[in-house]
Amino acid sequence: MSLALLLFLALPIPGSQDSGSPVLVPVGLSDLRPQDPGATEVLQTSADTALVRLDWTTLPFPDMEPGARLGQAMALGDFDGDGWQDLAVSAPGAVRPGGLGEILVAMAVPGGLRKGVREILRVAPPAHQPEFEALEFGAALCICELDNDSAAELLIGAPLSGNGSGTVFVWGIESLQKPAHMLLGADALPGRLGHSLAAGDFDGDGRWDLAMGAPLAHHRKRPGGAVLVLGTKVGLRVLAAPRPATGAGFGSSLAILDLAPGAAVNLVVSAPDADGEGIEGAGQVWIYSAGLRPIQPTLLNDPDLDLSAPSSFGRSISALGKTLLIGAPDRCPPRAGILGGAFRYHPESGRPMRLLVQEKEPLPSDPAPLDQGLRARHGLRVLAANMLGGAEPDALVATEALFGIEGLEQALLIWPGADPEAKPIALNAPPGGGLRWMQSLAVDSLNSDRACLLAGDPSFGVGVTATGSNRGRVMLGVLVLR
Ligand SMILES: [Ca+2]
Ligand SMILES: [Ca+2]
Ligand SMILES: [Ca+2]
* High-pLDDT (> 70) share of the chain, %: 80
Q: How far apart are CA 398 and CA 402, in angstroms?
A: 13
pLDDT of residue 34: 32
Measured in Å, residue 343 CA sits from the centre of ligand 1 at 35
Q: Quick: pLDDT tens for 390-441.
A: 889 999 999 987 765 556 678 899 999 988 888 899 999 998 888 899 999 9
Q: How far apart are CA 285 and CA 314, in angstroms?
A: 6
Q: Quick: pLDDT tens for 7-42.
A: 444 444 443 333 333 333 222 222 223 333 434 455
Measured in Å, residue 232 CA sits from the centre of ligand 3 at 4
Measured in Å, residue 80 CA sits from the centre of ligand 1 at 5
Whole-structure pTM value: 0.88
Q: How far apart are CA 390 and CA 320, in angstroms?
A: 13
Q: Is 132's pLDDT higher than 70?
A: yes
Measured in Å, residue 122 CA sits from the centre of ligand 3 at 30
Q: Quick: pLDDT tens for 281-295.
A: 899 999 999 888 877
- Nearest ligand atom owner, CA of 207: 3
Ligand 3 ion: nearby residues, β-carbon < 5 Å:
201, 203, 205, 207, 209, 232
Identify which has the larger pLDDT, 420 or 345. 345
Lowest-confidence segment of 14-28, 62-76, 197-211, 360-374 by average pLDDT: 14-28
Measured in Å, residue 189 CA sits from the centre of ligand 3 at 20
Measured in Å, residue 87 CA sits from the centre of ligand 1 at 9
* High-pLDDT (> 90) share of the chain, %: 63
Identify which has the larger pLDDT, 154 or 370. 154
- Nearest ligand atom owner, CA of 146: 2
Measured in Å, residue 223 CA sits from the centre of ligand 1 at 42
Residues in the chain, total? 482
- Distance in angstroms between the alpha carbons of the first and the last residue of the chain: 54
pLDDT of residue 43: 55
Measured in Å, residue 162 CA sits from the centre of ligand 2 at 28
pLDDT of residue 366: 46
Lowest-confidence segment of 121-125, 199-203, 430-434 by average pLDDT: 430-434
Measured in Å, residue 79 CA sits from the centre of ligand 2 at 8
Measured in Å, residue 53 CA sits from the centre of ligand 3 at 40
Segment 122-142 mean pLDDT:
88
pLDDT of residue 253: 98
pLDDT band at 229 (very low <50, low <70, confident <90, very high): very high
pLDDT of residue 469: 85
Measured in Å, residue 76 CA sits from the centre of ligand 1 at 10
pLDDT of residue 306: 62
Lowest-confidence segment of 139-143, 147-151, 335-339, 343-347 by average pLDDT: 335-339
What SS3 string covers the chain?
A: CCHHHHHHHHCCCCCCCCCCCCCCCCCCCCCCCCCCHHHCCCCCCHHHHCCEEEEEEECCCCCCCCCCCECCCEEEECCCCCCCCEEEEEEEEEEECCEEEEEEEEEECCCCCCCCEEEEEEECCCCCCCCCCCCCCCCEEEEECCCCCCCCEEEEEECCHHHHCCEEEEECCCCCCCCCEEEECCCCCCCCCCCEEEEECCCCCCCCEEEEEECCCCECCECCEEEEEEECCCEEEEEECCCCCCCCCECCEEEEECCCCCCCCEEEEEECCCCCCCCCCCCEEEECCHHHCCCCCEEECCCCCCCCCCCCCCCEEEEECCEEEEEECCCCCCCCCCEEEEEEECCCCCCCCEEECCCCCCCCCCCHHHHCCCCCEEEEEEEEECCCCCCCCEEEEEECCECEHHHCCCCEEEECCCCCCCCCEECCCCCCCCCCCCCEEEEECCCCCCCEEEEEECCCCCCCCCCCCCCEEEEEEEEEEC
- Nearest ligand atom owner, CA of 108: 1
Measured in Å, residue 151 CA sits from the centre of ligand 2 at 4
Identify which has the larger pLDDT, 129 or 453. 453
Measured in Å, residue 456 CA sits from the centre of ligand 2 at 25
- Nearest ligand atom owner, CA of 143: 2
Residue 187 burial (C-beta neighbours within 10 Å; 0-12, 13-18, 19+): exposed
